[in-house]
Amino acid sequence: MFAITQLLTRAAQVNAQGLATRDNDRQQTWSELLNKVRCFAGGLRKLGVDSDVCAAILALNSDRYFEFMFAAPWAGGVFQPINTRLAGPEVVYWLNDSEAEVLVIDAAFAPLVAQIKDQLEHVRYFVYVDEGEVPAGCIAYSEVIAAAPLDDSGRCDDDVAGLFYTGGTTGRSKGVMLSHQNLVCNALQAMSMISLKPADRILHVAPMFHIADAFVCMMSVSIAGANYFQPAFDPVATMEA
């Protein structure tokens, strides 16, 4: 059986007290991350994320982005990363095309979403994963993860886990459905190719909406390594990290 959620379960089994994520002052072990994802999934389920329901995210890199990538499939849904470089009309098209019912956002994109929300045909809930005042019409991250922990939905193999859109260079973007098996198998072969080891520390500076870093996320869980996050690539911040 191939399931990205089972990668997370295994990581918590083999490295329970090892560092899983660190984002500025926030950090958590693999055991803590597993529990967080279970609660996040419980909150998403209460918002209607179940089998094949799409939940999207428009945000900069963070530990909470990482949590969401596993929480949506854990709840039974499909996670959809949105390119942070898109213009408003393009974001509207992606969300209407995918029929996403939940949209996760951060402070960087709250103003854009406020401008386009009336054009979104299927989004029913907006989840704010940043610090500070929660924008009008949004649900706080803290409220979502306050839900009771959810058992793994059991999605696996050919079930769709992620919906990644193409660049749309020759027409409109098209949603590419990636299964649990797609994501796990590619992570395992790439992990071997670049010789990732359990003690490795992984810095996420490439955009997490892109398939390249998404596979690095899957690889990091496969080895139960430590994940560090920069909101976006900055030469000085990357060197300092």
What are the respective helix, strand and coil percentages of the chain, to the nearest 5? Answer: 40, 20, 40
Query: For residue 64, what pLDDT is reported?
Result: 98
- Are 185 and 191 in contact by the 8 Å Cβ rule? The answer is no
Dump pLDDT digits (tens) for 83-124. 999 999 999 999 999 999 999 999 999 999 999 999 999 999
Alpha-carbon dihedral of residues 205, 211, 212, 218, nearest 10 degrees? Answer: 90
Give the mean pLDDT of the chain: 96
CB-CB neighbours of 118 under 10 Å: 7
- DSSP assignment string, 145-202: TTSPP-------TTSEEEEEE---TTSS--EEEEEHHHHHHHHHHHHHHTT--TT-EE
Q: Is the pTM of this model over 0.75?
A: yes
Residue 169 — pLDDT band, cuts 50, 70, 90?
confident
Dump pLDDT digits (tens) for 41-56. 999 999 999 999 999 9
pLDDT at 190 over 90: no
Query: For residue 134, what pLDDT is reported?
Result: 97
- Pick from 219, 176, 4: which is nearest to 80 by CA? 176
Specify the 3-state DSSP secondary structure of 13: helix
Query: For residue 171, what pLDDT is reported?
Result: 86
